[in-house]
A and B are shown apart, each in its own frame.
Chain A
């Protein structure tokens, strides 16, 4: 039912899958750069590939964010900026603090100390739902489909500012009928975009793991966010769907949405990321364009160590 199972099923095919991915990366590399990618590359020219570097137009800025669990420091980020309109990848080995950092900035966990701002306003003390309403939406590592809601209802939930969500207006249908109609139209467009139209009235619980990933993205887009944070969007997804997901992510960036994604499988995202931030033991150890990261000594030591099977030999 869950992504875990699928991952198990895939185990024997891992090698084949990797080969496919490398090919796919080739293909992508040979394609002409999309509008968004070109725009992002231009914006980031001249930004030095070093940890904590300032960006020309940062949408998210974190300062001195520390999170300790008991004696263990899970996150210790001195300074971090995310450039607007880019696909920024947070990479790092398991337990490097990427997901914890995610939880912190999205308001799902509270930091030991530190502050961060989004679109220029400080959102450190803000509750998670308020952060989402301001246009920063996240997804989860383990997909959270709302099982006993239909696919359409799942997506509809993402719409913000719904009059019918207030208790007093809810029983008075005429007050929110028109808005609901508009939202249905928009939700149906999103379902169409993510090839989920045929599931419109099915319970989301009946979906496959991959469909749930798509549903989660559709739901997040319904919020009309400026920034989407994807927590391991490719985990447990088959190669064909991975391609489709990558395509969707790039399309979003081309529409001007900023994407931050967490992955520990570097190969998958190097090709689409405009900027990569590498975590290890809670700290940012490197930052830069994918090519910079591939060559970065610290990254190789901390993370690539055993996995030098990338196309480019770091030497």
Chain B
């Protein structure tokens, strides 16, 4: 067994483009759940519209990529409005079910034959982000000996982590303002906030839109990162990943999603590499095709244990969390 290569893989996973993308989406989710108390289980839907919003205009209409990204953001806003108007007036658990259902409905639509001229149906679309890679300032690999990144990965990482930290900064500014105070009061008790003259529907909608746009940006980056897009990337399980990341880092902590994403991807890649190595060495009676499934099961187990024994996550304040009576 080669521990060094496992560790090197794990660090690459923890800092790589995927971690940045998931962190960004989780920052949006943190806006929804951590600060507003919205049970959004359809964050993947925002990522989906963001990704396709970015890619489709480039492929189908030949527009530049940056226009695509703006269209992706616009799609997220429209989705937030469509989703929010019927469900934000309802109890939280309805929102959970409605969002997960809406994300699935979107996936069905994007992969359907109707949408095939634009989205490529189940086969998806490719090669739409050349504009992005043309701007790549890195020309050589980053090589630290045991850890190295390709120029393209470095470029996506720079933009991804840059966007994530910008988003964290924006969220911090917002949350520590009177606006954020109202948002947190909505999380604690909607009726009390209403009785003090706050339009809770409007605040929840604003939160849904902001978090959704961050999700859409993450979706755009995800599409750009792989240069290939199929609807089945956006399965509900991706949302559960984001929840695990958010809770692992600490919900309603500004840096929670960032810490969560890094630790999550470190552990996930570690487990993955470790399993593949011991399977390769014939130490365990599994096949390498099982690794994916075991990984998912491990995420589930981690989420369960986390929620049962340390629901405040790594950065959270256990005392504060105990005050949660819902």
Among A154, A156, A160, A171, max chain B CB count under 10 A is at A171
Docked Cα-Cα span, A140 to B194, in Å, equals 12
Binds B, one of A47-55, A130-138, A288-296: A130-138
Complex Cα gap A1–B322 (Å): 12
Number of B residues, CB within 8 Å of A: 30
A157-B185, A157-B198, A165-B178 in contact; A144/B173 too (CB < 8 A)?
no
A180 contacts B325, C-beta separation under 8 Å: no
A12 → B minimal CB distance (Å): 27
A106 and B195 contacting across the interface, CB-CB below 8 Å: yes
User: Of B173, B193, B252, B323, which is within 8 A of A157 by CB?
Assistant: B193
For window 202-261 of A, CB contacts with B under 8 Å fall at 203, 205-206, 219-220, 222-223
Residues of B within 8 A of A170 (CB): 173-174, 177-180
Measured CB to CB, the closest approach of chain B to A243, in angstroms, equals 26
Q: Is the pair B177, A153 in contact by a Cβ cutoff of 8 Å?
A: no
Residues of B within 8 A of A160 (CB): 197
A151 CB-CB contact with B under 8 Å: no
Most A CB atoms within 10 A — which of B173, B181, B187? B181
Residues of A within 8 A of B173 (CB): 170-171, 173
By beta carbon, the residue of chain B nearest A106 is: B195
Query: CB-CB < 8 A to B191: which residues of A?
Result: 108, 140, 144
CA distance in complex: A151, B88 (Å): 27
Judge if A139 is at the interface, Cβ distance under 8 Å.
yes
Could you give, for residues 97-122 of chain A, a 1 whenever the CB lies within 8 Å of some chain B CB and a 0 otherwise? 00000000010100000000000000
Q: Quick one: given A165-B182, A171-B170, A176-B177, are A148 and B320 in contact (CB under 8 Å)?
A: yes
Closest to B209 in A: A167
Residue A24 at the B interface, CB < 8 A? no
How far, in whole Å, are A167 and B177 apart by their CA atoms in the complex? 9
Give the docked Cα–Cα distance between A219 and B185 (Å): 12
Q: Do B181 and A156 touch across chains, with their CB atoms under 8 A apart? A: yes
Known: A140-B191, A170-B173, A176-B177. A129 touches B198 (CB 8 A): yes
Structural contact, B189 and A223, CB atoms closer than 8 A: no
- Which 5 residue pairs of A and B lie closest in terms of their CB atoms, listed nearest first? A205-B323, A164-B178, A170-B179, A132-B197, A170-B177
Can you pick out 21 interface pairs between chain A and chain B where the beta carbons lie within 8 Å of each other?
Answer: A129-B194, A129-B199, A130-B197, A130-B199, A138-B195, A140-B191, A144-B189, A144-B191, A146-B192, A146-B193, A148-B188, A148-B320, A153-B181, A157-B181, A157-B185, A158-B196, A164-B179, A166-B179, A171-B173, A173-B173, A219-B192
A residues near B, CB below 8 A? 1, 106, 108, 127-130, 132-133, 137-140, 144-149, 153-154, 156-158, 160, 162-167, 169-171, 173, 176, 180, 203, 205-206, 219-220, 222-223
Instruction: Please report B residues at the A interface, Cβ cutoff 8 Å.
Output: 170, 173-174, 177-182, 184-185, 187-189, 191-200, 206, 252, 320, 323-325
